Amino acid sequence: IDKTGKYVINPQFPWALPFSEGLAPIEIKGKFGYIDKTGKIVIKADFDSAFSFSEGLAPAEIDEKWGYIDRTGKFVVDPQFLWTFPFSEGMARIEVGGKYGYIDKTGKIVIKPQFDWTLGVFSDVQASIWLGTRYGYIDKKGRYVIDPRFALAGAFSNGLACVKIDGKYGYIDKEGKYVISPQFVYAFRFSRGLASVELGDKRGYIDKQGKYIWEPTD
C-alpha cells in the first residue's frame, strides 16, 4: 500500500518483506524471488528463502545453504553458510558450525566464527556479541572494545546503545560508560535524538541526557 492506504501492488503473495534498495522479497509457490515497486518480478523465484537487499547484496538460500546475490539474482558469495544476515558497513554475520563471525563482500571471513551469538549488524563501527552468558561489543577486527557484561545489548544509534543489566535498561556510549543509568523497565534505541522508554507505569520519550521530552497526559 501507499501512504494513503491504497493498494499499489494487489494482494497476491503468500509472504513478502518490505522494500529495500528498490526491491522486495516475495514468495511464489514455495520459492522466493524479488519484485520492483511496480510489482514486476525482476529476480525469478528460484530460491528456497531470501531476505532484503542491503549495500547491493541480499542473503539467499538454496539447498539449506546461504550465500549472497546481486541485483541480477546471481550469487556473488556462493551458498555455503548455515545462516546469514544483511550487510552493514561492509560486513555481514554468518554462522559456521554453530558459531558466528563476519565476512566481507567477497565472502572472505574477516572475523573468525567464535561467538555464541551476535546482533548481526555493525553500527558506528561496533557490533554487539554474545559470549557465554553476557553481551559485549567488538570492533571490525573482532577485538573487544566493551567487555561482555550485559544481559542484553543493542546496536549503537546516535552514539548511544541501549543495554540491560540487573533487570533494568540504560544507555552507554562507545567506551562502555553509562550516559543514562539503568532504570527503565523497557527502552529502545535512539532515533533522531529521542528514545522510547518505560519507567513503572510512566512511558514517553527521552533525550540523550535522559530528560523526558514527551509523555502521555493520561
pLDDT digits (tens, 9 = 90+) for 60-115: 999 999 999 999 999 999 999 999 999 988 999 999 999 999 999 999 999 999 99
The beta-strand segments (E) located in 167-209 are 168-172, 178-184, 186-187, 195-199, 202-206
Judge whether residue 125 has pLDDT over 70. Answer: no
Q: CA gyration radius for the chain?
A: 20
Q: Specify burial of residue 73 (Cβ count, 10 A radius: 0-12, 13-18, 19+).
A: middle
User: Above 80 in pLDDT, residue 218?
Assistant: no
Angle (CA) 103-18-139 rounded to 5° is: 25
Q: How many degrees, rounded to 5, is the angle at CA 158 between CA 157 and CA 163?
A: 50
**CB of 126 closer than 8 Å to CB of 138:** yes
pLDDT score at 166: 96
What percent of the chain is predicted at pLDDT more than 90? Answer: 80
Grid coordinates in use for 196? 522510547
| Complete edge-to-edge strand list for the sheet that includes strand 65-69 | 49-50, 58-62, 65-69, 75-81
Q: Residue 177: how many CB atoms within 10 A of its CB?
A: 8
| pLDDT at residue 14 in the model | 96
d(C-alpha 145, C-alpha 176), whole Å: 8
Q: How far apart are the first and last CA of the chain?
A: 33
Look over the chain and give the mean of its residue pLDDT values, rounded to a whole number. 93
Altogether, the residues listed in the chain come to a count of 218
The owner of cell 528460484 is 46
For residue range 32-59, list pLDDT tens digits in order.
999 999 999 999 999 999 999 999 999 9
- pLDDT at res. 44: 98
